[in-house]
């Protein structure tokens, strides 16, 4: 096909008028496209759909967003909270109301399902950059924190731009997602929509309809003790670097949540040795901080063999969550410098045995 | 940088147009200005590969100059071999070593090179220029004009594959002379049409199909969704035709007319007609620079003309498949199309033409079915889809995939985008730019809401 576009209007009698009309055409397009884009953009800046507080706006209060990936931008900077639970879905059942009531801090639940250490570190940085003083972090470290991969792939997309620089934020602001949230904020201001819970607590057990049916344990490679090298732990190192910049007054509890025993490594295996090394490293990074500590629930206990106490192999039920809260509250309430029960709680490779939760040395360490 | 991104549509492109409008007054600066924008555009993806692009331009230009000075064809041959060697190293080395290892059990280490963006396209541009130079269809030119021919940002990454004779002399012309207003209006219409194809049709179809192809990697699809997998033909059409239309539109804004790449291929009534309408600039390249030399009667002599012709078609199409990707599935896809072309030519020679509707249905059906091999990485996965075609999808699955149906209908019913854009712009109607502007903002919003989807042909 001939691709010529030579204009017939050049030879038209009213050539100048036609050219003027095409200029008018271009002006209308530019006016509509850029004008409407600029208008939408300005409106979004003023409404602040994610309540990031980056720029002066209408000062609307409350968000209608129940997607934790985006809603945590608002919760994370909310001045009414001075403590947060950070983690993936494995920390979701920790009750911020109870933690606030009994630990003496004002807790928000900032766990985000299907996230890893990269997203959680960014969220912690966001939180701390929006508070001149902060009370406590409870970091629920699921197995991804022990990964040796410094470039862990994301389980699901994460809006890094929302927690990044202003320029990055502006570059991503114009979107259908932003328009939705802007509309919700206006509806809240007009009183026709209820704002989302600012604390962010959601009990997933209310939605679990089927009992957990355990699968077989996974295979574990036997350890060759002569050739075993401690694993590299890039994410633990990054957490250490983050905590090093935190004021000493911020209390930090790192909790490794329980899993059903089929997910635990076989005693004496390489995986068990790697996990022990990770636990020791995590325990060490909070060992010099007051009212802080490492709590190890990823143990082969009686409870870890009780399927009724789990939603699935990775997610514990409410009973175990309450037990975790007990231990967390106890650490946060203590004034001991560097509660570091690791030397008593972390069994060496091959020393795993079935113990009851109550017999955990973790609890022994808490005054 | 993607054409379908806020940064390109709201910053890079408007910025480049404004700067070029100022530079346009200084004729000597026009080509350098476009060259700078092109290298910035290319370097945004991976700055280190700008060096490869620049080196390839310098080497090929030097070879062309030497040929022009000495008329020694060895310079052209050596440059073409070098281009193919670089393409082979980056794109096919692991494929060939892997295949050899599979055949002979010899384990050879992988190179795992990152594929430089657009290498298949800029390699073909080099080859086209060099071959045309030897045939006297292109002239020796200055370094900056040649460099712009290779890396002009609308076409550098994924075409259209323009011949030197089509675009070479357009570079450096006054972009704001004569009917520039009408040309720019047409360019804007092309860009909007391309964005609609990509963002409103290609990507949503891809979102439906990706989980289906993913499921097929595990087990045969017996839930009826295999039928939807055939929609990949429409997805890749809207993806690539959308890219080509945006490229043509951007070219027009800078006063450069790029060749068209698609001409309503889903209206083709034979496979021969299909390849005259699908990725037309590649078909043209394969015909002129691969098939014609292979079919040269001096190679096998008059007695073997038919055999040579058939082999040339099969080989050309197999290499067409291989050009799309380093995998046996691509080779198989190309060979299937080669066999279909041979079959169609044979039919035309000995049998009367079938009814048009039958020819159309067979052609489109064949393209959609063969597209499964193109999309899947292994024949096992493709078989998981083909075996699933025994189950027809229920209404629940179909209702969720309505966009595939809409896409199919539009691909079949609408004329070529160039025809549509020119019809829309026969006269300067005021409502047209207003509607296009609103559609454009809608697309921007849609783009921001989703993760950016790369154009499929960027992988090739």
Q: Kindly report, residue by residue over B309-343, the tens digit of the pLDDT.
A: 899 999 999 999 998 888 899 999 999 999 999 99
Interface contact flag, B430 A36, Cβ < 8 Å = no
The runs of H, that is alpha helices, within B254-376 are 271-277, 280-286, 292-294, 297-300, 305-324, 328-350, 356-375
Q: A residues 146-185 near B, CB within 8 Å?
A: 157, 171-179
Three-state DSSP class for residue B141: coil
| Contact residues on chain B for A24, CB-CB shorter than 8 A | 428, 430
Shortest Cα–Cα distance, A19 to chain B (Å): 6
Three-state DSSP class for residue B354: coil
Per DSSP, chain B holds a count of helices (H) and strands (E) of 26, 0
Q: Are strands A83-86 and A136-140 parallel, antiparallel or unpaired?
A: parallel
Inter-residue contact B128 to B285 (CB < 8 Å): yes
Q: Which residues of B touch A (CB under 8 A)?
A: 6-7, 10, 14, 178-179, 181-186, 188, 252, 257-260, 263, 280, 416, 418, 422, 428-430, 432-434, 436-438, 440-441, 444-449, 451
Interface contact flag, B188 A21, Cβ < 8 Å = no
Shortest Cα–Cα distance, B4 to chain A (Å): 13
Nearest to B448 among A22, A29, A176 (CB): A176
| Contact residues on chain A for B437, CB-CB shorter than 8 A | 28-33, 35-36
User: What would the 3-class secondary structure string for chain A be?
Assistant: CCCCCCCHHHHCCCHHHHHHHHHHHHHHHHHHHHHHHHHHHHHHHHHCCCCCCCCCCCCCCCCCCCCHHHHHHHHHHCCCCCEEEECCHHHCCCCHHHHHHHHCCCEEECCCCCCCHHHHHHHHHHHHHCCCCCCEEEEECCHHHHCCCCCCCCCCCCCHHHHCCHHHHHHHHCCHHHHHHHHHHHHHHCCCCCCCCCCCCCCHHHHCCCCCCCCCCCCCCECCCCCCCCCCCHHHHHHHHHHHCCCCCCEEEEEECCCCHHHCCCCCEHHHHHHHHHHHHHHHHCCCCECCEEEECCCCECHHHCHHHECCCCCECHHHHHHHHHHHHHHHHCCCECCCCHHHHCCCCCCCCCECHHHCHHHHHCC
Bridge partners (DSSP) listed for residue A290: A337
Cβ-based neighbour number of residue B1 at 10 Å: 16
| Contact residues on chain B for A157, CB-CB shorter than 8 A | 451
Interface contact flag, A174 B446, Cβ < 8 Å = no
Can you tell me the distance from the alpha carbon of B126 to that of B151, in angstroms, rounded to the nearest whole number? 11
Interface contact flag, B185 A24, Cβ < 8 Å = no
Interface contact flag, A40 B10, Cβ < 8 Å = no
Three-state DSSP class for residue A211: coil
Which pair of structure tokens corresponds to residue B288?
A: 């002129």
Can you tell me the distance from the alpha carbon of A182 to that of A143, in angstroms, rounded to the nearest whole number? 36
Please choose, from the candidates B56, B35, B42, the residue with its C-alpha nearest in 3D space to the C-alpha of residue B2.
Answer: B42
Asked if the C-beta of A12 comes within 8 angstroms of chain B's C-beta atoms, the answer is: no
- Please check the confidence at residue A11 and state whether its pLDDT lies above 60: no
Q: Does residue B126 have an active-site annotation?
A: no
Residue-level pLDDT at B396: 81
Please choose, from the candidates A50, A81, A44, A77, the residue with its C-alpha nearest in 3D space to the C-alpha of residue A63.
Answer: A50
Residue in chain B closest to A7 (alpha carbons) equals B179
Which pair of structure tokens corresponds to residue A115?
A: 């996230």
Digits of tens for pLDDT over chain B (460 positions)?
Answer: 788 888 899 999 999 999 999 999 999 999 999 999 999 999 988 888 899 999 999 999 999 999 999 999 999 999 999 999 998 888 888 888 888 777 776 667 777 777 788 888 999 999 999 999 999 999 999 999 999 999 999 998 887 999 999 999 999 999 988 789 999 999 999 999 999 999 999 999 998 999 899 888 888 888 888 899 999 999 999 999 999 999 999 999 999 999 999 999 999 999 999 999 999 999 999 999 999 888 876 776 666 688 888 999 999 999 999 988 888 999 999 999 999 999 999 999 898 888 999 999 999 999 999 999 999 978 889 999 999 888 887 788 888 889 999 999 999 999 999 999 999 999 999 999 999 999 999 999 988 866 545 555 555 5
Can you tell me the distance from the alpha carbon of B282 to that of A41, in angstroms, rounded to the nearest whole number? 41
**What interface predicted TM-score (ipTM) does this complex get?**
0.88
Determine whether B253 is exposed, middle or buried from the number of CB atoms within 10 Å of its CB (0-12, 13-18, 19+). buried
Catalytic entry in B125, B126, B324, B337:
B324
Taking the CA atoms of residue A211, residue A216, residue A218 and residue A222 in that order, the dihedral angle to the nearest 10 degrees is: 140
Please choose, from the candidates B346, B360, B285, B347, the residue with its C-alpha nearest in 3D space to the C-alpha of residue B316.
Answer: B285
Inter-residue contact B215 to B153 (CB < 8 Å): no
Shortest Cα–Cα distance, B433 to chain A (Å): 4
Interface contact flag, A26 B430, Cβ < 8 Å = no
Taking the CA atoms of residue B275, residue B277, residue B282 and residue B286 in that order, the dihedral angle to the nearest 10 degrees is: 40
Residue-level pLDDT at B460: 52
Res. A268 pLDDT band, cuts 50 70 90: confident
- Please check the confidence at residue A345 and state whether its pLDDT lies above 50: no
- Residue carrying structure tokens 């800029």: B122
Residue-level pLDDT at A57: 87
B159: alpha, beta or left? (left if phi > 0; alpha if psi -120 to 50): left
Interface contact flag, B178 A29, Cβ < 8 Å = no
Q: State pLDDT tens for residues A217-257.
A: 766 667 777 778 889 999 999 999 999 999 999 999 999 99
Can you tell me the distance from the alpha carbon of A241 to that of B365, in angstroms, rounded to the nearest whole number? 59
Residue in chain B closest to A15 (alpha carbons) equals B179
Interface contact flag, A28 B430, Cβ < 8 Å = yes
Nearest to A7 among B6, B182, B416 (CB): B182
Can you tell me the distance from the alpha carbon of B124 to that of B122, in angstroms, rounded to the nearest whole number? 5
Asked if the C-beta of A22 comes within 8 angstroms of chain B's C-beta atoms, the answer is: yes
Can you tell me the distance from the alpha carbon of B367 to that of B363, in angstroms, rounded to the nearest whole number? 6
Asked if the C-beta of A314 comes within 8 angstroms of chain B's C-beta atoms, the answer is: no
Inter-residue contact B411 to B266 (CB < 8 Å): yes
Inter-residue contact A47 to A69 (CB < 8 Å): no
Please choose, from the candidates B68, B80, B79, B72, the residue with its C-alpha nearest in 3D space to the C-alpha of residue B141.
Answer: B68
- Residue carrying structure tokens 């489109």: B364
Please choose, from the candidates A111, A116, A122, the residue with its C-alpha nearest in 3D space to the C-alpha of residue A154.
Answer: A116
Interface contact flag, B428 A24, Cβ < 8 Å = yes
Interface contact flag, A22 B10, Cβ < 8 Å = no
| Contact residues on chain B for A182, CB-CB shorter than 8 A | none
Can you tell me the distance from the alpha carbon of A25 to that of A29, in angstroms, rounded to the nearest whole number? 6
Determine whether A280 is exposed, middle or buried from the number of CB atoms within 10 Å of its CB (0-12, 13-18, 19+). middle
Residue-level pLDDT at B451: 52
Residue among A32, A177, A182 with most chain B CBs within 10 A, to mutate? A32
Bridge partners (DSSP) listed for residue A84: A108, A137
Residue in chain B closest to A37 (alpha carbons) equals B441
Cβ-based neighbour number of residue A225 at 10 Å: 11
Size of interface A-B (CB pairs under 8 A): 106
Residue-level pLDDT at A14: 62
| Contact residues on chain A for B260, CB-CB shorter than 8 A | 1, 3
- Residue carrying structure tokens 């985008």: B417
Inter-residue contact B407 to B228 (CB < 8 Å): no
| Contact residues on chain A for B438, CB-CB shorter than 8 A | 32, 36
| Contact residues on chain A for B432, CB-CB shorter than 8 A | 25
Across chain A, what does the average pLDDT equal? 85
Q: How many angstroms from the chain centroid is the CA of residue B427? A: 31
Asked if the C-beta of A193 comes within 8 angstroms of chain B's C-beta atoms, the answer is: no
- Please check the confidence at residue A9 and state whether its pLDDT lies above 50: no
Shortest Cα–Cα distance, B220 to chain A (Å): 24
| Contact residues on chain B for A176, CB-CB shorter than 8 A | 445-446, 448-449
Asked if the C-beta of A1 comes within 8 angstroms of chain B's C-beta atoms, the answer is: yes
- Residue carrying structure tokens 């520039």: B180
The model carries a pTM of 0.81
């Amino acid at each position: 096909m001939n691709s010529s576009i030579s204009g017939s209007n050049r030879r038209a009698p009213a050539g100048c008028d036609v050219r003027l009309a095409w200029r008018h055409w271009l002006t209308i397009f530019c006016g509509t496209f850029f004008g409407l884009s600029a208008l939408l953009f300005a409106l979004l800046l003023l409404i602040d759909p994610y309540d990031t507080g980056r720029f002066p706006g209408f000062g609307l209060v409350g968000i209608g967003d129940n997607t934790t990936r985006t809603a945590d931008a608002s919760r994370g900077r909310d001045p009414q909270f001075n403590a947060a639970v950070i983690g993936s879905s494995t920390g979701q059942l920790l009750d911020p109301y109870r933690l606030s009531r009994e630990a003496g801090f004002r807790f928000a639940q900032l766990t985000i399902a299907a996230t890893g250490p990269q997203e959680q570190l960014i969220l912690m940085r966001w939180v701390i950059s929006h508070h001149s003083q902060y009370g406590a972090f409870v970091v629920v470290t699921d197995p991804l924190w022990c990964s040796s991969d410094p470039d862990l792939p994301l389980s699901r997309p994460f809006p890094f731009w929302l927690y990044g620089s202003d320029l990055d934020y502006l570059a991503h602001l114009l979107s259908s997602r932003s328009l939705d949230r802007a509309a919700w904020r206006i509806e809240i201001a007009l009183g026709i929509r209820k704002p989302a819970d600012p604390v962010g607590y959601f009990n997933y057990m209310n939605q679990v309809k089927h009992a957990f049916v355990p699968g077989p344990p996974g295979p574990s490679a036997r350890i060759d003790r002569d050739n075993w090298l401690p694993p590299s732990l890039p994410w633990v190192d990054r957490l250490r670097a983050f905590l090093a910049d935190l004021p000493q007054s911020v209390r930090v509890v790192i909790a490794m949540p329980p899993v059903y025993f089929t997910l635990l490594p076989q005693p004496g295996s390489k995986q068990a040795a790697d996990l022990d090394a990770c636990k020791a490293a995590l325990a060490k990074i909070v060992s010099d901080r007051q009212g802080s500590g490492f709590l190890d629930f990823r143990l082969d206990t009686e409870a870890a063999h009780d399927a009724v106490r789990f939603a699935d192999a990775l997610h514990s039920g409410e009973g175990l969550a309450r037990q975790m809260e007990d231990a967390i509250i106890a650490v946060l309430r203590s004034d001991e410098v560097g509660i570091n029960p690791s030397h008593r709680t972390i069994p060496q490779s091959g020393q795993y045995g079935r113990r009851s939760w109550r017999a955990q040395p973790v609890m022994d360490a808490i005054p | 940088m993607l054409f379908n991104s806020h940064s390109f549509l709201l910053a890079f492109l408007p910025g480049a147009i404004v700067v070029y409008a100022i530079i346009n007054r200084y004729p000597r600066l026009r080509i350098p200005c476009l060259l700078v924008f092109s290298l910035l555009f290319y370097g945004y993806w991976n700055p280190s590969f700008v060096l490869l692009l620049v080196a390839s331009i310098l080497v090929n230009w030097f070879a062309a100059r030497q040929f022009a000075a000495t008329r020694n064809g060895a310079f052209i041959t050596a440059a073409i071999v070098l281009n193919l060697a670089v393409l082979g190293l980056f794109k096919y080395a692991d494929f060939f070593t892997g295949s050899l290892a599979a055949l002979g059990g010899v384990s050879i280490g992988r190179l795992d090179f990152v594929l430089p963006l657009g290498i298949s396209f800029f390699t073909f541009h080099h080859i086209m220029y060099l071959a045309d130079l030897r045939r006297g269809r292109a002239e020796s030119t200055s370094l900056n004009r040649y460099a712009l021919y290779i890396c002009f940002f609308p076409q550098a990454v994924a075409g259209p594959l323009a011949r030197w004779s089509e675009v070479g002399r357009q570079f450096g012309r006054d972009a704001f002379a004569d009917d520039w207003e009408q040309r720019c209006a047409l360019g804007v219409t092309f860009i909007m049409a391309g964005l609609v194809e990509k963002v409103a049709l290609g990507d949503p179809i891809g979102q439906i199909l990706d989980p289906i192809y993913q499921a097929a990697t595990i087990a045969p699809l017996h839930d009826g969704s295999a039928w939807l997998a055939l929609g990949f033909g429409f997805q890749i059409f809207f993806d690539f035709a959308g890219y080509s239309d945006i490229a043509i539109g951007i070219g027009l804004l800078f006063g450069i007319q790029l060749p068209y790449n698609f001409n309503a291929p889903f209206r083709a009534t034979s496979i021969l007609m299909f390849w005259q309408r699908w990725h037309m600039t590649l078909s043209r390249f394969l015909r002129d620079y691969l098939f014609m030399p292979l079919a040269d009667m001096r190679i096998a002599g008059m007695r073997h003309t038919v055999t040579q012709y058939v082999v040339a078609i099969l080989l050309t199409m197999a290499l067409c498949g291989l050009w799309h990707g380093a995998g046996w599935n691509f080779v198989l896809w190309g060979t299937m199309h080669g066999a279909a072309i041979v079959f169609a030519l044979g039919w035309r020679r000995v049998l009367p033409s079938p009814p048009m509707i039958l020819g159309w249905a067979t052609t489109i059906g064949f393209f959609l079915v063969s597209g499964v091999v193109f999309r899947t990485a292994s024949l096992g996965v493709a078989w998981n889809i083909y075996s699933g075609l025994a189950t027809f999808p229920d209404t629940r699955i179909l209702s969720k995939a309505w966009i595939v149906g809409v896409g199919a209908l539009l691909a079949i019913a609408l004329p070529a985008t160039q025809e549509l854009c020119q019809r829309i712009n026969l006269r300067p109607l005021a409502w047209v730019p207003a509607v296009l502007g609103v559609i454009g903002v809608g697309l921007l919003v849609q783009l921001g809401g989703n993760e950016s989807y790369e154009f499929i042909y960027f992988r090739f």
